[in-house]
A and B are shown apart, each in its own frame.
Chain A
Amino acid sequence: MSLYAFIGALETGLAFALVALGSYLTFRVLDFPDLTVEGSFPLGAAVAAKLMVSGVDAWTATGVAILAGALAGLATAFLNLKLRILHILAGILTAIALYSINLRIMDRPNIGLLNINTVYTYVEKLGVPSLYAPLVLLAVVVVICKILVDLFLSTGFGLALRAAGANPRMARANGINVDAMIVVGLAMANGLTALSGALFAMMLGAADVSMGIGVIVVALAAVIGGIALMPSRTIWRLTLACVLGSVLYRLAIAFALSTGTFGLTASDVNVVTAVLVALALFAPGRKLALPKFLRARK
């Protein structure tokens, strides 16, 4: 693959690594399958884009986008905790509602970000060549977010959140308000997702209502694949696995598309994703379930 495809894959991988971190928090730590992501990702993009075309600077716009994502997480938490809607459905409902809300925010299905100063423009002004600007900024953002998540999970509060997800009954018996943990976890995860959406929209040059479609699958492929390749019990290694999983996924797709020797086209991306995740789960150490007559006699 060309240098451009390689850099591009790294950039996209890093942008989506934030969603992977968020999904790690919800799916793995909190044991709450959160599908809000399909709505909060484009929400971040929509809010940031709308603010930017209205004259707000890119950094503030991104900050507001993060808050919007956190609110989306709160909505899902409300649906689940107060209205007692099943967690998976609560996320889906919020995501569905966000489709309309995003359209409202943008007033149209697509806002182009042509000739607008994005966060990457600022980096370019510091002297970084335009080709590498997104890579540099995203690397810094991802590292900071990862460290913040790691630190958070090692505090007393973070430990309580982990307990709430691992064994809610035990958590309550130890004074932990499990409901509050779910609220915080969902807000954090969707804040991260919205940040990802805003940064990706600036890379894409547009915010579009359809941007959220398929994001959860990509995030889970990163989390599952990453952790399967780098299993660990240490928090900072697990979050690193999620980030690397996201980047490796994009590189694998770019590679598969560039060689063309497998006769793979873009339409095959979904199958490739499924195969990659399956392979990652089957990773070293697993045994094939052989039929009886093929197994060695004792």
Chain B
Amino acid sequence: MIRVDGIGITFNKGTALESRALDGIDLTIPTGQFVTVIGSNGAGKSTLLNIIAGELMPDRGRVLVGDEDVTFWPVHRRSTKVARMFQDPRVGISENMSILENIAIASARTSPRGFHFAITPQIRELAVQRLARLGLGLERRLDDRVGLLSGGQRQALCLVMATVGPTKVLLLDEHTAALDPGAAELVMKLTGDVIREFAITSLMVTHSMRQALDHGSRTIMLHQGRIILDISGEERAGMKIEDLLRLFRRREGIELADDQLLLD
């Protein structure tokens, strides 16, 4: 379960570039829910994600994961509760290490690192199991350097790494945006499968309204640091992109050109 209470953050306070990136965000995501987040550039989507992930500290408000107040936990401690996938396929993995080593690192995310051997038959077996499900043949290339993999393969590996341990919370930061359309679709499908299979509480930031509506069960739209739309259930079920835009216009009274949000 993720909950944010009254989160606010201002960048460049006191200068000419001052901007209130988030202005009082209240959001509760029940366990197992898959939420998508959209909004134009500067709306605050990535900022919100970074605050939940621990890369930014809010000026006010709290972040709770499960029942714990993690607002000021440093990134490495936060990661024991919240897994994350990045947009850049090079950030989430260690290029010069093997696939197996990367998975070993990820699988120890929640437990303190000890002086046992890192690569054990159990880890190897776990890796084979999880990678096989992707259907990309990676389970046969365990000792290959990750640097040899394509962007889509890396993101698929990241997906496994983010979900291999007991962590049941996942933050997705436009994780398919840097991939070509074919790979993007594959990774998105795999993401949906994994989230469903392991009942992972997920928050996905995306630039694509299409993606936002097609996946998950709830969609939030941010605009100028506030949540202006929060749709789920029946209202959302049959929605099309024009419907979203109309809803937005009505709430905000501004024309939002739909190419401000990437369409596909």
> B-contacting residues of A (Cβ < 8 Å)?
152, 154-160, 162-163, 166-167, 169-178, 233
Contacts of A172 in B (CB 8 A): 74-76, 79
Cβ-defined contact, A167 with B113, below 8 A: no
With A157-B114, A159-B101 as known contacts, state yes or no: A167 contacts B80, CB within 8 Å: no
Q: Which of A154, A155, A163 contacts B105 (CB 8 A)?
A: A163
With A163-B94, A173-B92 as known contacts, state yes or no: A178 contacts B76, CB within 8 Å: yes
| Highest count of chain A CB atoms <10 Å: which of B86, B117, B145 | B117
Q: Give, as a whole number of angstroms, the nearest-CB distance from A25 to chain B.
A: 16
Contacts of A174 in B (CB 8 A): 79, 105-106, 108-109, 161
Cβ-defined contact, B97 with A166, below 8 A: yes
Q: Give, as a whole number of angstroms, the nearest-CB distance from A245 to chain B.
A: 20
Bound Cα distance A174, B80 (Å): 7
With A160-B108, A166-B94, A167-B91 as known contacts, state yes or no: A155 contacts B116, CB within 8 Å: yes
Q: Give, as a whole number of angstroms, the nearest-CB distance from A156 to chain B.
A: 4
Q: Which of B79, B96, B110 contacts A173 (CB 8 A)?
A: B79
Q: Give, as a whole number of angstroms, the nearest-CB distance from B86 to chain A.
A: 8
Cβ-defined contact, A155 with B96, below 8 A: no
Which residues of chain B in 48-96 are interfacial with respect to chain A, using CB atoms and an 8 Å cutoff?
53, 74-77, 79-80, 83-84, 86, 91-96
Closest to A167 in B: B94
> A-contacting residues of B (Cβ < 8 Å)?
53, 74-77, 79-80, 83-84, 86, 91-97, 101, 104-106, 108-110, 113-119, 145, 161
Would you list 25 pairs from A and B whose C-beta atoms are within 8 A, ordered by A residue?
A: A154-B119, A156-B104, A156-B118, A157-B115, A158-B118, A159-B113, A160-B105, A160-B108, A162-B94, A163-B94, A163-B97, A166-B96, A167-B95, A169-B91, A170-B91, A170-B105, A171-B105, A172-B79, A173-B84, A174-B79, A175-B79, A176-B113, A177-B77, A178-B76, A233-B145
Cβ-defined contact, B95 with A166, below 8 A: yes
Closest to B53 in A: A173
Main secondary structure of the interface of B (DSSP, over half): loop
Contacts of B80 in A (CB 8 A): 175
Q: Give, as a whole number of angstroms, the nearest-CB distance from B56 to chain A.
A: 13
Q: Which of A154, A166, A169, A177 contacts B118 (CB 8 A)?
A: A154
Bound Cα distance A154, B120 (Å): 10
Closest to B79 in A: A175
Main secondary structure of the interface of A (DSSP, over half): helix
Q: Give, as a whole number of angstroms, the nearest-CB distance from A234 to chain B.
A: 10
Q: Give, as a whole number of angstroms, the nearest-CB distance from A82 to chain B.
A: 14
Q: Which of A159, A169, A178 contacts B104 (CB 8 A)?
A: A159
Q: Give, as a whole number of angstroms, the nearest-CB distance from A29 to chain B.
A: 11
Contacts of A160 in B (CB 8 A): 105, 108, 113
Q: Which of A166, A176, A233 contacts B76 (CB 8 A)?
A: A176
| Highest count of chain A CB atoms <10 Å: which of B96, B115, B117, B118 | B118
Contacts of B92 in A (CB 8 A): 170, 173
Given contacts A157-B113, A172-B74, A173-B92, 13 further A-B contacts (CB under 8 A): A154-B119, A155-B113, A156-B114, A156-B115, A166-B96, A166-B97, A170-B91, A170-B105, A173-B83, A174-B109, A175-B77, A176-B76, A233-B96
Q: Give, as a whole number of angstroms, the nearest-CB distance from A28 to chain B.
A: 11
| Highest count of chain B CB atoms <10 Å: which of A154, A156, A159, A169 | A156
Contacts of A171 in B (CB 8 A): 76, 94, 105
Contacts of B145 in A (CB 8 A): 233
| Highest count of chain B CB atoms <10 Å: which of A154, A169, A173, A233 | A173
With A154-B117, A155-B117, A160-B105 as known contacts, state yes or no: A175 contacts B96, CB within 8 Å: no
Contacts of A166 in B (CB 8 A): 94-97
Contacts of A158 in B (CB 8 A): 118
Closest to A162 in B: B97
Bound Cα distance A179, B108 (Å): 17
Cβ-defined contact, A173 with B75, below 8 A: yes
| Highest count of chain B CB atoms <10 Å: which of A155, A157, A174 | A174
With A166-B95, A167-B93, A175-B80 as known contacts, state yes or no: A159 contacts B105, CB within 8 Å: yes
Bound Cα distance A159, B113 (Å): 9
Bound Cα distance A139, B75 (Å): 43
Bound Cα distance A154, B84 (Å): 25
